Chain A
Amino acid sequence: MSNIDPKLTTLIIGYGNPGRQDDGLGPSFIDTFSNFIALSEYEENKLNLQSNYQLTVEDALDICQYQQVIFVDASLEGESAFHVDEIKQTNDTGFGSHSLTPYALIQLCQTLYQHHPKAFIIGIRGYEFDQFEEKLSAAAEANLNQALAYLQKILRPLNSDECTPLEPHHA
């Protein structure tokens, strides 16, 4: 259960609360991405998508099996439309069920099973978070589209390569 499965290449997890405006960027990314690309173009298990309200501790059990995991979340900060960072080393002991970060999750993998997948986080800049509304702001939606286009291009070689890791990127 905890070992990397060579057949499981890339998992993308978009998370956030779609009922809180731009906090829904992560789930929106997955929704749109799954329509945007034809998953059938990818060989089985080359690319899997998940959408959730939040990250949970048991996600560590699944994540540990992948070669590469990409988290997609709304970002409160930054000038760029989106950024891609590698979770290279973690020392995140902040832990709560509302606030479990990808960093803590990767550390959880490492602590539980002594290994973790290559992990990246795509932070898409959002601007409006404080109202209960199931709609992205126009500016956040534009940023979402940029991030989608970027990832679609990057992930295309997945079929030919065993695993094509992302690189840090700011756009």
Chain B
Amino acid sequence: VKLAWEPVPPVRANAVPAASLAILVLGLLAVAGAAGVVRGVGFTLRPSPASERGGSTGPVLVVDVEADGATRVQGASVPRERIADAARLERDRSPGALVVLRVDPEASYASMVEVAAALLASGADPSDPSAVSRLAVTTARP
């Protein structure tokens, strides 16, 4: 018996459909994961009640939110859209200062969140020596 022989070509997986399927599954998982993620302003609560100075003995930068939504930085009136810039300037003078956000109890929750987000965003770059690393939120004294 004389059998013909020829080498079997190397087995190659049909990678394109497999990749498509993998991407599809990955996409489904990503969509499912993204749907469950909530975005917002993040805080860490201190175990002890915050004082007006946040327990800090160092320099403090006080940002006030008044009942009508007006904002102040170190007592000086500053438009809300310029809060981040003003805070950055003040922190340049006192690097590492604790930023205390003092909110009037009658102010709206939205006012507080907007100012807190602006302050945090102003120091979002970790390489920025004046970055907001410590932020305390307290209510203004009535």
Real binding pair? no
B residues neighboring A (CB under 8 Å): none
